[in-house]
Structure 1
Amino acid sequence: MNASAGPLPPGNSRRLRVFVPVLAALIGLAWLSLWAWARSPYGRYLEHGDWTASGPAAFLCRVVPAGAVVVPMALYAAAWILMTTAMMLPTTLPLFNTFDRLTARRPDHGRLLMLLGLGYMTVWGAFGLLAHALHGVVLFALANIPALAWHGWLIGAATIALAGAFQFSSLKYRCLEKCRTPLSFIIEHWRGQAQARHAFALGLQHGLFCVGCCWALMLLMFALGAGSLGWMLLLAAVMAIEKNVRWGQRLSAPLGIALLSWAVVLVASHA
């Protein structure tokens, strides 16, 4: 890592007064927005229902070119960005905190932090679009394959079982280890030249590892209901503990067992 980042500054009080409250306010605003959205007349958009059937979204679908595709995707992207901000930013506090300290003396410190966050959110945004496309394929299959529609619960059970099995995978633990050591991660990936570009790239790289260890748990939102704030809070707490708390890695196996057991119960209750 280039020395231009400077040594760790003694300004911990500045960081506590400014950085932590700003990031906490951003996360809190995301949760508040989700709460308000879920209780509004447009809350059904969080549930991935038929956005083109009625209401303002249906009107936009008619007047916007290719609106039947563009409008639901835009609504979904807005909901996904809020969900990601609320659920995943708390898990990255150590990374932002370390990067904030390392770049605090740079005149473009604020811009670098924003680029780091933008890179991180870009990866989760791409994952959200892929998940949205997969969800569309599933809905199409349910609408056109009667046998699958009659046994739609199998999709939920399979998603829960997949999330449980992934808790025991080596990929999960390799990615989780990268997320748990932010200082080592920054030293390994941060470069002194073209700091703006490398700050964005650092966010991208960390986002890839974050998706690598959390993607299966995030897919649970499709099985549990994307508009359920209770499940969002629970999953966000689990992922934050796994990544940030010293004993958090011990939670992975019991959580995997619980999810696999839940899937078995679902299958047994429908069999």
Structure 2
Amino acid sequence: MPHPRAAPSVAVDSHALLPRRDLAFAWVLMVLLAALAWVLTADQARGMAMGPGTMGLALPIFLLLWLVMMVAMMFPSVAPVAITWGHAIGRQSSGVVRAVRTTAFVSGYLLVWTTFGLAAYGLLTLTADLVRDHPDAGRWIGAGAFLVAGVQQLGPLKGVCLRHCRSPMFQLLRYARFRPRLRDLRVGAHHGLYCLGCCWGLMIVLIPLGVMNVAVMAGLAAVIFLEKLWRYGPWLARGVGIAFLVLAFLAVFAPFQDWLLPGLGVDGASMDPTMPGGM
């Protein structure tokens, strides 16, 4: 007789149980959404000069742009988990039901990152005010951002959250015991919190490097993808953390500020942070 608290049977390998057509469609859709988000982000970045703060964007527009950025940067690494949950957990359901479950999972995931966008907006606004009132503060803000990011990459919270993101099946099995009401949304939010705990330090470096710096966003997206899916991901995370600590040291010195702190207006070529970036 099974233990009364045992989790319902859940397939670990959805690829072995689902038609290839269903899996291919799910993967293609996620890739297309990420590609579209990259196109929209790059197009918006062309109309915005690099500068400190929120570049004059109102909170609703900033959050919309932030959401598009998160789709572009995070979808490649979250796609395996989202597809596994929506398909393996609901493998006996119709294709439409599985699509709805996957959508709910992704919605919960993005809700967490959008909420983090509120904190990012406040932090960027504070940064713009400090740089405007104290121009020399830029290098210290940049150094502090790199320092915090480096410490986070090397800290215990990063390790715990990265382990979850790299091997989420145990948590997915536990989530299967959740009550059905809004379960998929809650599971996506739970996974999003782990992802936030793993990656928030990487997002902090957008403050000195530029929130709309597409090249930096692409590099961070690659780091996030490799950390979670590459066999040497944990070692990469530590290497990136050490690199951030080095950049924190270099950001203090004038010869390095032009290329290390473009997001703080240190290079002198940035627009007024109160000028709208458009959208």
TM bucket (normalised to shorter chain) is 0.7 to 0.9
Between the two proteins, the alignment pairs up a number of residues equal to 246
* Residues 1:222 and 2:211 are matched in the alignment: no
Change (3 A) 1:168 1:45: closer
Structure 1 stretches of 4+ with a deviation exceeding 6 A read: 4-7
Q: For 1:64-213, what aligned pairs fall within 5 Å after superposition?
A: 72-99=58-85, 100-107=87-94, 108-144=97-133, 148-191=134-177, 193-194=179-180, 196-213=181-198
Change (3 A) 1:49 1:187: closer
Higher helix share: 1
Change (3 A) 1:117 1:14: same
Match of 1:266 in 2: 251
Change (3 A) 1:125 1:46: farther
User: Do the aligned partners of 1:142 and 1:149 also contact (CA within 8 Å) in 2?
Assistant: yes
Match of 2:220 in 1: 235
* Residues 1:24 and 2:9 are matched in the alignment: no
User: Where in structure 1 are there 5+ consecutive unaligned residues?
Assistant: 52-70
Secondary structure of the equivalent of 1:124? helix
CA distance in 1, matches of 2:164, 2:13: 22
User: Alpha-carbon deviation of 1:98?
Assistant: 1.6
User: Where in structure 2 are there 5+ consecutive unaligned residues?
Assistant: 1-6, 257-279
Change (3 A) 1:94 1:248: same
CA distance in 2, matches of 1:157, 1:129: 23
What amino acid is the match of 1:106?
A: S
Secondary structure of the equivalent of 1:156? helix
CA distance in 1, matches of 2:13, 2:237: 35
Indicate the RMSD between aligned Cα atoms, in angstroms.
2.4
CA distance in 2, matches of 1:103, 1:135: 41
CA distance in 2, matches of 1:5, 1:160: 41
CA distance in 2, matches of 1:264, 1:213: 23
CA distance in 1, matches of 2:88, 2:168: 12
CA distance in 2, matches of 1:149, 1:94: 44
User: Do the aligned partners of 1:47 and 1:227 also contact (CA within 8 Å) in 2?
Assistant: no
What amino acid is the match of 1:267?
A: V
What amino acid is the match of 1:212?
A: G
Q: Give the TM-score, by structure 1 length.
A: 0.83
Change (3 A) 1:48 1:137: closer
Match of 1:13 in 2: 20
Percent identical pairs in the alignment equals 28
2:42 aligns with one of 29, 35, 48: 35
What amino acid is the match of 2:128?
A: L
Change (3 A) 1:162 1:50: closer
Q: Give the TM-score, by structure 2 length.
A: 0.80
User: Alpha-carbon deviation of 1:139?
Assistant: 2.1
Per-residue deviation, residues 87-124 of structure 1 (Å, max 9, x unmatched)? 11111122113212332322422211111000000000
Match of 2:8 in 1: 2
Secondary structure of the equivalent of 1:267? coil
User: Do the aligned partners of 1:157 and 1:263 also contact (CA within 8 Å) in 2?
Assistant: yes
